[in-house]
Every structure is written in structure tokens, then in C-alpha cells.
Amino acid sequence: MTIMRAIGLMSGTSMDGIDVASIETDGTLVTEIGPSQFVPYDAAFRRRIEAALETAKSIVAREDRPGRLAELEEEITLRHARAVSDFLASASSAWQHPQVIGFHGQTVLHRPQRGVTVQLGDGASLARETGIDVIHDMRANDMKYGGQGAPLVPAYHAALAHSLPPAFRDEYPIVFVNVGGISNITYVQREGDPIAFDTGPGNTLIDQWVSLEGGVPFDAGGAIASEGGVDHSRVLRYLDNPFFERGGPKSLDRNDFTLDLVAGLELADGARTLAALSAQAILKSVEHLPASPKLWIVSGGGRKNPHIVGDLRAGADTLKARVIVAEDAGLNGDATEAEAWAYLAVRSLKGLPLTFPTTTGCHAPATGGILSKAKGA
């Protein structure tokens, strides 16, 4: 199959900025991983997105843009266009001419039970601004096939698993863990489609907690949590949520879990308790897997929280498994999701499946995405 160079753009549930990443792929194999870049959102813009989450609760149809969501969508798109421009200006000549962009946009509502998922971002506008073809809106078709619309990264995780360094290739089953705002896992066996689902809160409750109680956007390096202790009774109360008893496929909205159960704790104790929750929710996912994983590979911002990773390692040790962060396997844990969107864009162009019954619950393997052609293309 024809090899293409693609850019992926991801602004996740942590709402901290835009990840830009590049890969070379034929839509099946990842032949090369290129450079990546992060463009942070300023605090004021992040607050606008947070406010939009409340406005978005009134959305009925995916096309609805109540309040000032249309204005915000335009700004998000322009920020992504500038991120692409800056990225290409700083990239080596070999990576300055991508053939397609995979554009995620900013999720403001995800309600799979209603068949609605809304990512703010105008793909046609991005194609005009960048002069590059854009694949966008990659979740919607999965929902038409009865899927949850998430997670979509598993197809890329499966491709990565089969290209790991030799030291890791015999450690199947392998689980990729993405600890973003919401955590999700991808279970990869030697053969067969991946199995994937959201596991629970990742960083989102920690971020909300330290913002509310400490006036900072996130717990950098787990520094706040390092001063606190785990309230195990509250972790167990969170884990009593029926969500954790359901097997996959399943997905979460950022607002499905709240801070109610840590109310009244000191700042550091709350941060440490929520870090423990993130890890325990991931470990609990083993109950819904065909076999216990031998290797856990952690990516996303949560891999920088030593408490989440430490608790994961302690739990995995009891299962005779090991936990590594993405960099230990030669991967970029900050850029994995953006790389995935580049990979999925190429798969979309070639009509290959983005999702599977074992990852989103769709009735059959489903492709997806809308192609917006650059002017004159």
C-alpha cells in the first residue's frame, strides 16, 4: 500500500493545549514516527473551554452550537491552524509537506447512550487555512454503527505493539494505558482485533481538585499529592460506581465523575486519593480482559505523576506483570494520541476500519471521518 506522511492534531479532555505529531504509514504499518510539538492553551482560553462544557450540556443534535460555541469553534480551529503552521516552520524539510491532517478538535460533549459526540473544530476551515487536506469528525460514523464513538486510539496501539523493540515483543498480552483526562486501555494479543475501553478518571478529577482547592491548573509531577495520603475508603466509594462493573466497550464523558466524594479533604490528601483512584480504576479493568496482561505501557500526561505510575506498578506486581512508561519502549508518551490521529487519517483515506466491535461496540469494523479538501487540491 502507498506510504503517506500525515500530521495528527489532538486537544484532549485535559484541555491544556494542542499536540501536533507526524508519522509515516501505509495505514497498516507505522514505518516512521516523526517530530512532534505541544502548543499550550493560555489560562483564559482554557477557562473558555471549561465554560463551554456547561453550555454544551444543552446540545441535542451534533450540529447544535448554542450560546457562544460557534465563536469558540472558530477560535479553536484558528489555533490549530497556527499550530500546524508553526510546526511545519520548525520541522526538517523531510516533514514539511504532509499529505493529510487528522483533526480531532475539542470534545465538549460525549453522550454515547444518546448517540451524540461533539468535537468543536471546523475541518473545512482548517483545510483552507493550512492548504492541506483534512480528515475530521472521525467518531460519528462509529456511532452510526452502534458504537460508543470512543476510544479510537486502539487501532494505532495495535500497530505500535507489533513494532516494539525486540525486548518487549514476547510479552503478550500487552496493554497500552493512556492516562489523559479520562484513562483508557488497549489490550493487544498476538493475533486478533484489539480490545479497548475507558477505565475511569485519569487526570481530570485531579486537575479539577487542585484548581478548586489550590488555584493551580494541575499537580505538576505529583508534587501536591506527595504531601498527602490516600483515603482508601473514598477510593472504594468511587469504585462502587456501576461503570466499573460493566465490561467493555464503554466510554466516559469528562463530567461523568465529580469531586463530591473527596469533598472535605485537605488539598494534598485529595490529590493523592484521586491519583490512587486513577491507578486502581486502571487495574480493575483486568477483571474484564480475557487474560491478565504481562506488560503495561503508560502514555499520556498521567505517566508524569509518580503516584499514578507507582500505584500501577505495585498493583501490576501482584499480577506478575510489569509497568513501563512509553519512553522505556522508545515511544513518545506525550504524542501518542496525536500520532494516532495521523494514523487514523490515513486509514480513513484508504477506507480501512478505525474501530472494531471489541473497541467501541460497533456492529462491524467501521471506517469513518470526513475529508475536507484543501483549496485547489
The model's pLDDT over 197-229, given as tens digits with 9 standing for 90+, comes to 999 999 999 999 999 999 999 999 999 999 999
Is residue 377 assigned to a domain?
Answer: no
Average pLDDT of span 328-337:
93
Whether residue 121 is found in the same domain as residue 11: yes
The domain tally of the chain equals 2
| Percentage of residues in the chain having pLDDT higher than 90 | 88
Looking at the structure, tell me whether residues 97 and 190 fall in a common domain.
no
Q: Is residue 187 a part of any domain in this protein?
A: yes
Q: Are residues 42 and 89 in the same domain?
A: yes
**Residue 106 and residue 192 share a domain:** no
Q: Which residue shows C-alpha cell 460514523?
A: 141
Q: CA–CA distance from 153 to each of 162, 201, 210, 277, 338 (Å)?
A: 15, 17, 28, 23, 9
**185 in the same domain as 123:** no
Phi/psi of residue 279, each to 5°?
-70, -45
pLDDT of residue 6: 98
Q: What is the DSSP string of 324-359?
A: EEGGGGT--TTTHHHHHHHHHHHHHHTT--SB-TTT
Q: Does the pLDDT of residue 65 top 80, yes or no? A: yes
Q: Examine residue 206 and state whether it is found in any structural domain, yes or no.
A: yes
Query: Is residue 377 very low, low, confident or very high in pLDDT (cuts 50, 70, 90)?
Result: low
User: Residue 361 domain-assigned?
Assistant: no
- Region 97-119 average pLDDT: 93
Give every CB contact of residue 214 below 8 A, 6+ residues apart in sequence.
224, 267
Question: In this structure, are 321 and 346 located in the same domain?
Answer: no
Query: What is the mean pLDDT of the segment spanning 243-262?
Result: 92
160, part of any domain: no
Same domain? For 256 and 344 the reply is no
50 occurs within a structural domain: yes
Higher pLDDT, 261 or 165: 261
Q: Kindly report the average pLDDT of the chain as a whole number.
A: 94
Closest CA to 291 of 252, 321, 325: 321
* Three-class SS state of 105: strand
Whether the per-residue pLDDT at 42 is higher than 70: the answer is yes
344 and 318 in a single domain? The answer is no
In angstroms, rounded to a whole number, what is the distance separating the alpha carbons of residues 294 and 322? Answer: 6
Burial class (CB in 10 A: 0-12, 13-18, 19+), 368: buried
Cα end-to-end span (Å), the chain: 22
Answer yes or no: do 110 and 50 share one domain: yes
* Mean pLDDT value of segment 347-353: 97
Position 249 in a domain: yes
Burial label, 210 (beta-carbon count in 10 A; 0-12, 13-18, 19+): buried
> In this structure, are 140 and 216 located in the same domain?
no
Calpha distance 32→143 (Å, rounded): 31
Number of H helices, E strands in the chain: 10, 12
Q: Residue 184 pLDDT more than 80?
A: yes
Spatial separation of the C-alpha atoms in residues 321 and 343, rounded to whole Å: 29
Q: What is the mean pLDDT of residues 127-133?
A: 97
The torsion region of residue 115 among left (phi > 0), alpha (psi -120 to 50) and beta comes to: left
Measured from the Cβ of residue 306, the count of other Cβ atoms closer than 10 Å reads: 15
51 and 110 co-located in one domain: yes
What is the rounded distance in angstroms from the CA atom of residue 277 to the CA atom of residue 238? Answer: 8
pLDDT (0 to 100) of residue 376: 59
pLDDT at 167: 87
134 and 207 both lie in a single domain = no
Alpha helix (H) residue ranges in 113-249: 123-130, 140-144, 154-161, 204-214, 232-239
What pLDDT score does 122 carry?
97
Residue 359 inside a domain? The answer is no
CATH of the domain at 181: 3.30.420.40
Q: If you average pLDDT over residues 350-368, what whole number do you get?
A: 96
Domain that holds residue 73: 4-148+337-351+366-372
